[in-house]
C-alpha cells in the first residue's frame, strides 16, 4: 500500500534521526566503551601451576643433612616439584587501580606436609589496571616470607617496579622492566620472537637474573649459614660462612592484545657460596614451567577478553555505521519524494477554476452536424 506524502515525510525524519544516532554510536563505542573494557578486570582470580621439566636437572638440598651430626650436605636428585600461585584482587581497588595479592608456594611432592614445603611467599602490589605497572606510591606493595610466633605472615613494605603479573593492554615488541620477587628489584625482560601457542598469537620474552646475594635482600635464618667445611663438603678446616645466592632465566609468553601471561617458565638456581661467581652447594636447581591445564586456562581468559574488545572495538561500530548510513540514505530518498508529490484531484472532476479545460488525455468529443 502506498504511503501518503505526510507519512513518507514522517518516516524519512525517523530514518534520518536513527541513522545519525547509529553513526554517532559507531564513532563513540571504540573510544569510550573500549576504553572502559581495556582494563584488567576486578574479578580476577587465577591459579597457575608449574612443574619441573622431565629429563632436566631437578636438585634440592636435603636440609636435614645440614643439621645431622655426621656426613656432608646431601643433594637430592630428580626431585618432583610443583609451584602453585593463587592470585586475587583485594582492596583498595577502583576504576583505575587494583591491588593484586599472590600467594605462592614451591613444594617437593615426594614428601608430605610441611616437610615438602620449600618456599612460601605472599606478595601484594597495587597496579594500574591498563598498563599493569605498579602505581606511583611509596610503598606500593609488600612481600611476606616470614611468620610471627602465632604463625601469621609478616609483610615487609617493598617498592615494586615494572611489570609482574600482567603486561600492558596492547603489549609491544620491546624491552620492559620486570619485577623479580626473589631479588625484589626489576630487571629487563626482552622481546625474543612472535610465535603461537595452541593457535594463539603470543610474544615471547626472556629475562636473565644475575647472581644475587639473598642475604642482602632480606634477613632470614637460611640466607646466611655457618658450618664446618666438612659439612659443606668443601676443602679446608674450621667453620665456613656462606650466603644463599639466586640466579634465574625467566621465559614469558604474552598474548599482546590483553597482556595476559599465557605461559611462564623459570630456570631457577639457588646455591650457597662465598662468592656469586662460584656456586659451592646447590640449594635448588630446576626448570619449572606452566602445566598444560594452566596454559589452556590462560588461553581461555585471553580469548574471552579478546572477544569483548573485538565486539565493541570493531564488530559493533561496523554494524552500527553500515546500518546508520543505509538509514540516512533511505530517509533522504523518502524525504525528497514526499516533498515533491502533489495530490490528485478528487473524483476526477474538472475544477471550475480551470475554465472547464479538458485534460490532455481526454479525447475530444466528435461533433456530428445533422442537416435538416
pLDDT in tens, 69-126: 888 999 999 999 999 999 999 999 998 999 999 999 999 999 987 789 999 999 999 9
Range with the poorest average pLDDT among 64-73, 127-136, 320-329:
320-329
Q: Which of 191, 128, 202 lies closest to 161 in space, CA to CA?
A: 128
Q: Give the bridge partners for 288, in sequence order.
A: 52, 266
pLDDT in tens, 209-230: 999 999 999 988 899 999 999 9
Q: Which of 51, 44, 105, 62 lies closest to 288 in space, CA to CA?
A: 51
Residues in the chain: 372
Flag whether pLDDT at 199 surpasses 50: yes
Range with the poorest average pLDDT among 7-21, 103-117, 144-158, 273-287:
7-21
C-alpha to C-alpha distances, 84 to 103, 121, 124, 243, nearest whole angstrom? 8, 11, 16, 26
Flag whether pLDDT at 175 surpasses 60: yes
Q: How confident is the model at residue 326 (pLDDT cuts 50, 70, 90)?
A: confident
d(CA 223, CA 271): 10
d(CA 222, CA 63): 10
Flag whether pLDDT at 349 surpasses 70: no
C-alpha to C-alpha distances, 81 to 86, 100, 253, 263, nearest whole angstrom? 17, 25, 21, 17
Backbone angles phi, psi at 158, to 5 degrees: -135, 130
Flag whether pLDDT at 353 surpasses 70: no
Flag whether pLDDT at 370 surpasses 50: no
CB atoms within 10 A of CB 345: 11
Residue 156 confidence (pLDDT): 93
d(CA 299, CA 28): 29
Amino acid at each position: 500500500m502506498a504511503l501518503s506524502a505526510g507519512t513518507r515525510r514522517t518516516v524519512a525524519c525517523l530514518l534520518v534521526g536513527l541513522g545519525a544516532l547509529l553513526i554517532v554510536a559507531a564513532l563513540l563505542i571504540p573510544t569510550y566503551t573500549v576504553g572502559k573494557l581495556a582494563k584488567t578486570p576486578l574479578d580476577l582470580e587465577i591459579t597457575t601451576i608449574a612443574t619441573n621439566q622431565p629429563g632436566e636437572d631437578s636438585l634440592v638440598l636435603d636440609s636435614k643433612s645440614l643439621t645431622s651430626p655426621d656426613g656432608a650436605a646431601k643433594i637430592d636428585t630428580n626431585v618432583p616439584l610443583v609451584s602453585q600461585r593463587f592470585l586475587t584482587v583485594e582492596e583498595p581497588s577502583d576504576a583505575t587501580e587494583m591491588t593484586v595479592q599472590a600467594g605462592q608456594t614451591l613444594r617437593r611432592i615426594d614428601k608430605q606436609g610441611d616437610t615438602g614445603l620449600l618456599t612460601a611467599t605472599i606478595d601484594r602490589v597495587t597496579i594500574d589496571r591498563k598498563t599493569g605497572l605498579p602505581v606511583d606510591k611509596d610503598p606500593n606493595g609488600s612481600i611476606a616470607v616470614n611468620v610471627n610466633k602465632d604463625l601469621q605472615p609478616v609483610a615487609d613494605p617493598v617498592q615494586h617496579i615494572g611489570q609482574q603479573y600482567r603486561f600492558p593492554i596492547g603489549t609491544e615488541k620491546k624491552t620492559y622492566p620486570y619485577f623479580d620477587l626473589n631479588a625484589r628489584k626489576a630487571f629487563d625482560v626482552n622481546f625474543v620472537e612472535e610465535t603461537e601457542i595452541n593457535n594463539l598469537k603470543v610474544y615471547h620474552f626472556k629475562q636473565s637474573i644475575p647472581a644475587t646475594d639473598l642475604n642482602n635482600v632480606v634477613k632470614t635464618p637460611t640466607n646466611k649459614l655457618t658450618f664446618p667445611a666438612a659439612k659443606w663438603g668443601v676443602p679446608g678446616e674450621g667453620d665456613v660462612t656462606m650466603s644463599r645466592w639466586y640466579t634465574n632465566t625467566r621465559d614469558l609468553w604474552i598474548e599482546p592484545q590483553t597482556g595476559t601471561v599465557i605461559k611462564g617458565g623459570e630456570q631457577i638456581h639457588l646455591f650457597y657460596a662465598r662468592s656469586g661467581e662460584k656456586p659451592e652447594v646447590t640449594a635448588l636447581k630446576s626448570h619449572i614451567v606452566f602445566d598444560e591445564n594452566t596454559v589452556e586456562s590462560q588461553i581461555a581468559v585471553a580469548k574471552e577478553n579478546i572477544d569483548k574488545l573485538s565486539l565493541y572495538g570493531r564488530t559493533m561500530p561496523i554494524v552500527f555505521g553500515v546500518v546508520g548510513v543505509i538509514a540516512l540514505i533511505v530517509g533522504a530518498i523518502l524525504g525528497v519524494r514526499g516533498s515533491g508529490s502533489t495530490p490528485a484531484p478528487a473524483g476526477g472532476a474538472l475544477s471550475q477554476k480551470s475554465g472547464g479545460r479538458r485534460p490532455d488525455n481526454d479525447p475530444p468529443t466528435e461533433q456530428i452536424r445533422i442537416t435538416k
